[in-house]
Structure formats: C-alpha cells, structure tokens
C-alpha cells in the first residue's frame, strides 16, 4: 500500500526548522520503515481486517461456556468518558471519588445478584477468580489449624477448576456425573472426608444442566466442614431467578466479561470478581473500597487479606461496562435475560436433537452439549463440522470439552440473538448434517470461503510461524 510521498495529513506550511533537541536520524520517515499511506488507505485497511475476522458484531457466536453475547455500544461510550478514561491509578482518593463510587456500587449490585455478603473486583478473569477462591480457602483452613489438602471437582466442571486448585497445592479428585449429567451423590459421599477442603461446582454445569440436588450436595459438603465454591461463569442462566449464596455456596466468582456483556476473547479484557459469605470477607484481596459518611477511600490495611493479586485495582474499564449493563436492565431486565437465554438454548436443542443427539438432559438451561458421534462412520469429526460452519459466516461452537461427551458440540446462543438468526443457524446445521452423509470430503477440507484455509494443526502447534516476512 505504501507509495512514497503519501501522507495522512499535511500542514499548510512547512515548519521553519526541525527541533534542535531531536536528532535528525529520528525525523527521517524512512528509517523505521513506516509506510507512506493516505488516511483513507489506513482506514480501509483496518476496516478490511475487521471484516476478515469473525466477531459478535458480525454474526452469531455460539461458543458454549463462554457467553459471547452482543455488547451494547453505550457501554463503550461510558467507559470512554474522559472522567474515567483519563484517570491515573496513582491519583489520590479525593481525585477519584466517582471511580471509587462505581466500584462500591458494582460490588453492592453483585452481592444482591449473587446472594453473597462481600465482593472483591480485583481479579482479572474467571480462572484468576478461581485461584483467589482457593487461596482464601487455604488461608481459612490454615487459620483454623486444619491441614486439608483435597479438592473435589465434578467431571462436568470447567477445566480451569482443577488447575486453580493444583496451583495452591491442593490435590484434585474427580467426581463422575450420573446418567442424568448431574453429580453422582453416592460417589460424592464415598470420596468426601476430613481431608477435603473445597468442593468446586459449576452451576449450571458445562452440560447446561442445573444440579437438581444442589441442596443435598452442599449439605454433604458442609457436614464435613468443607467450603463450597461455585464457578459462576454460567451465571447468565440464573440472573434474577436464583442466587448462589442462597443455595449455600461460601465462595464464587462471576465472569463480568461473560454475564455482563464486555467484549472478550484472545486473552482479554476480563474481570472475575470473587464473592464470599461474611465469615470469609476478611480474606478478600485488597485494596477494598470503603465508604465513610459520604466519602469513598481505598483501604489497603487488612492483615487477614490474602494480599494483592492484581496491579492497582484490576480492570476498571470492565467495571464501567458491567455497571452500565446492570443499571440499564434493572432487576426485571436481568430476569428477562436469563429467561431468554434459556429459551433460546432449548429452542436450538429441540430443533437439532435428532441430527445431533444430546446425551445428557431432556431440558437444558443456557447451553447444551450435542454429539456428532454418528457422523464418524462417514469419516467426519466435529472438528470438520466446526470448520464447515465458518463457510456460512458463523463461529463454531466449543468442541473440545466437556470430555464426557464424545465428539462434543457445545452450543450457547445467548439471549441477544433473534429467532430469525437461530432459524438460519438451524438450517445450516441441518445442511451440514446432510453434507456429512452425502459429501464428507466437503467437510473434511473445510473451510472453503474464509481468508485462511485449514491449517495442519500438528504442524501449526509444533512449528508456528508467528511473524510474516515484510514485503519489499
């Protein structure tokens, strides 16, 4: 695109002389290899890149367990307000009263939504929240003089759960799912003991199923002195209708970037606030926002805290987006969100269940896990189905977990998609099923219409090309 002499703008008159304090070599446009491009050329280049990439503003993104909902643009407007975006984290509390009030207000709203007594917003993502939850449990038992070392994790939980437990020195013990996709209570009773520190549950689980025996499960844990942790990544299914704190959970995290609409993916941005019951509040990471009279301040002096787990106060821009989203919808709006998300998922599950059987659960909540196992006889895997979906302009569902479903297709439509969009997705999935039986090579060589064709995955992982050579 570069043509010598092109510029994005040009002054009416040339400056009389270059600044004497800057060496001439740094003023030479050709030295760093910058392209000579016009402003329209630059704009069109990046617009083209945005069209090539798939994103939620472009089409359906049914990525199971990751809640890729539409992100209202008013969220971005609020986050970009100069009074927020222009702040520096080293400014005094007196200079940042509005920002501190945002943090305080969001913590209060999350407590009301989740039924917890206190929240810390410092954590940067869901897995980070899990880690903090395990650190809180570790300190809690240490203060009690108990050397517990086991964590129980169902096989239907998110894969980061056992990793988070392992990172703080706990040993993991998997609890299998029963035929209904829920925790096997008999195995739970056999496995739990006085060495168990935490029971980690994802509710609803990654099969999109609510644990119907949740009261009994938590009672079994609490009877053994075990803390109950809820992975709240799937909270979108429960908004305004059920509160984890009311179930009896002691600790949980919420993925603000999933449930409350912040764009995410590719490593960020994210936020995974951790909520606890009052007896654990003293262990939350700092700093905490306190309100004294009409003033807000950051409290950095808590000797019981597990400490600082993020520079300054975490991802503040995510708090603004989440608070905007919650405030705009209100209590009744949050109920409609969960109701519509669950309705959309069940609509898809019922429409596709014959062609892509659903091994667990007659009804799902916000997501479901179908199986493409029956297409293996044609030499087609769910990876091929996922690649073929790209040709129709849809992002593929999650296909690599949960491992308890062979050839999994984990689908979450969210509440933001219209019936027309869901119907088009159903038609495409039916067409792909027909192609799998009649022309399997079409799927095995897909995608055909994307800017980049299918890669050799083994070679791409072992010998990645991370930079492209510059063209002369």
Tens of pLDDT, residues 275-308: 999 999 999 998 999 999 889 999 988 999 999 9
Residue 25 — pLDDT band, cuts 50, 70, 90? low
| Residue 27: both structure tokens together | 């003023």
pTM, entire model: 0.90
Can you give the residue ranges of every domain in the chain?
74-328, 331-458
pLDDT for the residue 14? 63
* DSSP code, position 365: S
CA dist 35 and 387 (Å) reads 35
CA dist 195 and 204 (Å) reads 26
CATH number of 74-328: 3.40.640.10
Q: Which residue has better confidence, 200 or 13?
A: 200
pLDDT for the residue 312? 84
pLDDT for the residue 27? 60
| Cα torsion angle, 110, 112, 116, 119, sign | positive
Closest to 340 (Cα-Cα) out of 247, 371, 332: 332
In the predicted model, is pLDDT for residue 175 greater than 90? yes
CA distances from 459 to 294, 385, 403, 441, 455 (A): 60, 21, 24, 21, 8
CA dist 45 and 30 (Å) reads 21
Q: Which CATH architecture has domain 331-458?
A: Alpha-Beta Complex (3.90)
74-328 and 331-458: same fold?
Answer: no
Q: What are the backbone dihedrals phi and psi of residue 395, each rounded to the nearest 5 degrees, phi first?
A: -75, 150
pLDDT for the residue 472? 43
User: What is the overall mean pLDDT for the chain?
Assistant: 92
Taking the mean position of all CA atoms in its chain, how far away is CA 460?
25
CA dist 192 and 177 (Å) reads 15
């Amino acid at each position: 695109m570069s043509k010598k002499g092109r510029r994005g703008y040009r002054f009416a008159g040339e400056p009389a002389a270059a600044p004497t304090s800057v060496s001439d070599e740094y003023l030479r446009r050709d030295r760093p290899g910058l392209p000579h491009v016009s402003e329209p050329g630059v704009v069109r280049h990046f617009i083209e890149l945005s069209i090539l990439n798939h994103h939620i503003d472009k089409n359906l993104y049914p990525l199971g367990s990751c809640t890729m909902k539409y992100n209202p643009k008013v969220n971005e407007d609020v986050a970009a307000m100069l009074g927020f975006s222009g702040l520096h984290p080293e400014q005094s509390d007196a200079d940042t009263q509005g920002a501190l009030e945002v943090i305080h207000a969001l913590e209060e709203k999350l407590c009301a939504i989740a039924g917890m007594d206190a929240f810390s917003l410092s954590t940067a993502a869901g897995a980070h929240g899990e880690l903090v939850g395990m650190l809180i449990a570790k300190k809690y038992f240490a203060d009690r003089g108990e050397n517990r070392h086991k964590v129980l994790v169902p096989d239907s939980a998110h894969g980061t759960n056992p990793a988070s437990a392992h990172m703080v020195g706990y040993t993991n013990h998997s609890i299998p799912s029963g035929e209904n996709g829920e925790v096997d209570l008999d195995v739970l009773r056999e496995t739990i003991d006085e060495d168990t520190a935490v029971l980690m549950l994802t509710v609803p689980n990654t099969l999109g199923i609510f644990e119907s025996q949740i009261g009994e499960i938590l009672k079994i844990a609490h009877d053994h002195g075990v803390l109950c942790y809820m992975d709240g990544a799937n909270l979108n299914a429960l908004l305004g209708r059920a509160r984890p704190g009311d179930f009896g959970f002691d600790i949980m995290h919420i993925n603000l970037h999933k449930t409350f609409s912040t764009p995410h993916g590719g490593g960020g941005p994210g936020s995974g606030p951790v909520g606890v019951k009052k007896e654990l509040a003293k262990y939350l990471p700092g700093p905490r926002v306190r309100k004294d009279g009409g003033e807000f301040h950051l409290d950095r002096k808590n000797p019981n805290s597990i400490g600082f787990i993020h520079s300054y106060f975490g991802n503040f821009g995510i708090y603004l987006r989440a608070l905007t989203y919650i405030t705009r919808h209100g209590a009744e709006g949050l109920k409609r969100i969960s109701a519509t998300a669950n309705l959309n998922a069940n609509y898809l599950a019922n429409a596709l269940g014959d062609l892509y059987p659903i091994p667990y659960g007659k009804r799902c909540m916000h997501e479901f896990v179908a199986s493409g196992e029956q297409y293996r006889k044609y030499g087609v895997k769910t990876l091929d189905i996922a690649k073929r979906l790209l040709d129709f302009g849809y992002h593929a569902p999650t296909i690599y977990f949960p491992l308890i479903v062979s050839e999994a297709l984990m689908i979450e439509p969210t509440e933001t998609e219209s019936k027309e969009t869901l119907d088009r997705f159903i038609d495409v999935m039916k067409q792909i099923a027909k192609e799998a039986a009649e022309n399997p090579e079409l799927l095995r060589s897909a995608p055909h219409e994307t800017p980049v064709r299918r890669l050799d995955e083994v070679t791409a992982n072992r010998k990645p090309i991370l930079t492209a050579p510059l063209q002369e």
